[in-house]
Chain A
Amino acid sequence: MSFLENLYKEIILEHYKRPRNHGNLESATVQQEGINPSCGDELTIFLEVADGVVTDIRFAGEGCAISQASASMMTEAVKGKGLEEALELSREFKAMIHGEEPSADLGDLKFLQGISKLHARVKCATLAWITLEQALEQVDHFPSG
């Protein structure tokens, strides 16, 4: 497999070209903007939260294939999860991007593992997740205790 085929697996390009949960969310409980300091990626995460569960999630914005695919996959993985679960998923994703073996929870997100070898693209892959974490912080009474 060529370098590009290995990195940009079909599923990643699929999420890039046809992103899931893309657009605004009128009923959002919280929204959070994120910008990639490596420049050229911006997104906003919208969360609708009820009883400690992410009942709906959207992302808006523009950016590279990696940042957009990661955001799209993130919304699919997080929708319907509890707040603590969502945070844990983010930790697991970042761990994978920083070189660890992907946990089983990550599912299709494991196809982004190749980014762990490309330091310049780490911030692209983690942008949506870091923004998600900042959005979660905004939710009242979370983290609890």
Chain B
Amino acid sequence: MANISWIMKYAIIAIIYLIIIFALRIMYKDIKGGGKKKTVIKKTMGLEVIERGENFNLRVGAVIPINNEISIGRKADNLLILGDKYVSSEHARIYRKNTDYILQDLGSTNGTLINKKRVKDRVGIKKGDEIKIGTSIFKVIG
């Protein structure tokens, strides 16, 4: 019976080295593919325009997709530009954290409202939430 070990020792060594070689291959491919890992997740969210308010660049019913990160404000370098006067230059941002999306108020003058409540710093958003920035209202869809 003990002689089983005599054969299995080769199997054990083989498997360990397979793990090492395989892991090395994957990591090598990773490096070649470039730095930060872009984990694509199945869950994507978007903002549907419910009320455009004084932001005439918005169309009601349009959906703005959130790919990992979206910056919102009056400055032109934001992904979502809202021109009305109640919107600060860098008003807010929504970013992905693992499997959730977080809405962060960047210290705006008039604040960001989620479901009529003011956002203090940051809060997680889910499908169906209503976000009001300036005069525009968006609904979170998933």
Q: Do A and B come from one complex?
A: no
Give A residues with C-beta under 8 Å from B.
Answer: none
Give B residues with C-beta under 8 Å from A.
Answer: none
